[in-house]
Amino acid sequence: VQRIRTHHLAQAKAAGERFTMLTSYDFMTAELFDQAGIDTLLVGDSASSTVLGHSSSLPITVDELLPMCRAVAAAAKRAFVVVDLPFGSYEESPEQAVRTAVRFMKEGGAHGVKIEADASTAHLVAAVVRAGIPVIGHVGFTPQSEHAMGGYRIQGRGDAAQKVLDDALALEAAGAFCILMEMVPSETATSVDQALTVPTIGIGAGAQTTGQVLVWQDALGLNGGKVAKFVKRYADLRGVMTQAVTDYVQDVRSGAFPAQEHTY
Ligand code: KIV
Ligand code: NA
C-alpha cells in the first residue's frame, strides 16, 4: 500500500475530493482504522479525556502522549499519522515548539504534528515547519484554550468569522500544510476553505471542508457520555461491549466458560 502524504491531501482539495481522519491512541484501533481506509490518524490530546479520564485536554503530557503516538505509527501502513502538541509543550518559544515536535517525529514516529494556534502564535508554526515537520494548524474552537474561550463554544459566528479567517490565513502563510477548524458555522468554514490554498479538515465545521475528523469513541458509540451535535454515531460499541462483558461474567459464574473446546 502507498503511504498517504501531505501532497495527497492537497490533491484531494484540488480534485474536489474528501479525505478522512479519526483519532487513534493505540495499536489495534490504528491497525483497524488504517485497514478500513482512514486516510489520516490523529493521536489527539483528546486522549487526556478518552484514555486518561481527565475532564479536559489540558493535563496530558508529552511523555503520556508519546507512547500512544508510537503505537499508532507502528500500526499505520497507509495512513498519515498526526499528533497534537499538548498544552504547555510549545507555547513558550519557537525553540520549545521545535523541540517537542522533533520528539514526536523521532521517538513517536509521527508524520506530522497539529498545533492549536492563531495569527499571534503563527511564528511557532513557522519554526516547526522550518525544522522540516509538516504542521496542521488548528483554529476556531481550540480545546486547550477552553478557559480563555469561556467553555466549549462555537467560534467564528457573525463578525467573529473574520478572526477565524485571519488565523487560518496566518497559519497558511506560516507554512501549515492543512488547517483544521473546530466548531465554526458552516458558512465561516466554507469561506475559510475557499480563501485558503491548502486543504482543510473540519469537526463541527459543516460539509465544505476538504476532510472530516471525529473522535473515534464518539463516532463508534463507545463514549457513554453526552456527545456534541456534530457527532454522528456509526455504531453502538458501548452496547455491544456491555453485552459481551455481561455474557462473560454470567458464563464464568455459571461454569459455562471455559468449555471443553477452551481447555487443554
Ligand atoms: O484532540 C483531538 O482529538 C482533536 C480533534 C477533535 C480535532 O484535536
Ligand atoms: Na486536540
- Using a 6 Å cutoff on CB, does residue 140 contact ligand 1? no
Same domain membership, residue 247 and residue 121: no
> Based on the structure, what is the number of domains in the chain?
2
Pairing of strands 211-214, 112-116: unpaired
Work out the percent of the chain whose per-residue pLDDT is above 70: 100
pLDDT confidence of residue 130: 98
User: Distance between CA 212 and CA 119 in Å, rounded?
Assistant: 23
Best residue for ligand 1 mutational test, from 42, 89, 138, 178 (most atoms within 8 Å of Cβ): 42
Question: pTM above the 0.90 mark?
Answer: yes
Cα–Cα nearest to 89, from 70, 117, 110, 111: 117
* Choice from 25, 41, 46 to test ligand 1 binding pocket (greatest atom count within 8 A of CB): 46
- Pairwise CA distance, residues 240 & 244, whole Å: 6
Give the residue, by CA position, lying nearest to ligand 1 atom 4: 44
The pLDDT, as a whole number, for residue 165 is 98
> Which ligand lies nearest to the CA atom of residue 44 in the structure?
1
Query: What is the rounded average pLDDT of the residues 241-261?
Result: 98
Work out the pLDDT band at 84, boundaries 50, 70, 90.
very high
Q: What pLDDT shows up at residue 124?
A: 99
Ligand 1 atom closest to Cα of residue 203: 7
Same domain, 25 and 130: yes
Residue of 168, 196, 201 whose CA lies nearest to 38: 201
Please tell me whether residues 173 and 248 are part of one structural domain.
no
**How many angstroms does the Cα of residue 207 sit away from the middle of ligand 1?**
18
Residues 220 and 246 in one domain: no
Q: What is the mean pLDDT of residues 88-109?
A: 98
Mark whether 118 and 229 lie in a shared domain. yes
How would residue 120 be classed by pLDDT, with cut points 50, 70 and 90?
very high
Q: Which residues are catalytic?
A: 182
Tell me, letter by letter, the H, E, C secondary structure of the chain.
CCCCCHHHHHHHHHHCCCEEEEECCCHHHHHHHHHCCCCEEEECCCHHHHCCCCCCCCCCCHHHHHHHHHHHHHHCCCCEEEEECCCCCCCCCHHHHHHHHHHHHHCCCCCEEEEECCHHHHHHHHHHHHCCCCEEEEEECCHHHHHHHCCCCCCCCHHHHHHHHHHHHHHHHCCCCEEEEECCCHHHHHHHHHHCCCCEEEECCCCCCCEEEECHHHHCCCCCCCCCCCCCCCCCHHHHHHHHHHHHHHHHHHCCCCCHHHCC
Residues 256 and 209 in one domain: no
Atom number in ligand 1 closest to CA 23 = 3
Shared domain for 122 and 252, answered yes or no, is: no
Interatomic CA distance for residues 70 and 105, integer angstroms:
9
Is there a single domain that holds both residue 133 and residue 250?
no
- If you average pLDDT over every residue of the chain, what do you get? 98
Residues of each annotated binding site: 45-46, 84, 114, 116
Per-residue pLDDT tens for 201-233?
A: 999 999 999 999 999 999 999 999 999 999 999
**176 and 260 inside one domain:** no
pLDDT at 230: 98
What is the CATH classification number for the domain harbouring 147? 3.20.20.60
Q: What is the ipTM of this complex?
A: 0.99
Q: According to the model, what pLDDT value does residue 253 have? A: 98
Q: Ligand 1 within 6 A of 84 CB?
A: yes
Domain assignment of residue 221, given as a range: 6-233
- Ligand 1: does its nearest atom lie under 6 Å from the Cβ of 82? no
Ligand 1 center from residue 117 Cα (angstroms):
14
**1 domain residue, yes or no:** no
| pLDDT confidence tier of residue 200, bands split at 50, 70 and 90 | very high
One domain, residues 108 and 164: yes
Q: Are residues 228 and 241 in the same domain?
A: no
**Residue pLDDT, tens place only, 20-36:** 999 999 999 999 999 99
Query: What confidence tier does 156 reach under pLDDT thresholds 50, 70, 90?
Result: very high
Both 172 and 51 in a single domain? yes
45 touches ligand 1 (CB under 6 Å): yes
Does 256 reside within a domain?
Answer: yes
Q: Are 80 and 112 in contact (CB under 8 A)?
A: yes
Whether 43 lines ligand 1, by a CB cut-off of 6 Å, is no
- Nearest atom, ligand 1, residue 182 CA: 7
Confidence at residue 247, expressed as pLDDT on a 0 to 100 scale: 99
Q: Are 136 and 176 in contact (CB under 8 A)?
A: yes
**Do the domain assignments include residue 211?**
yes
- Residue 2 phi, psi (nearest 5): -90, 130
Distance CA(105)–CA(89), nearest Å, equals 14
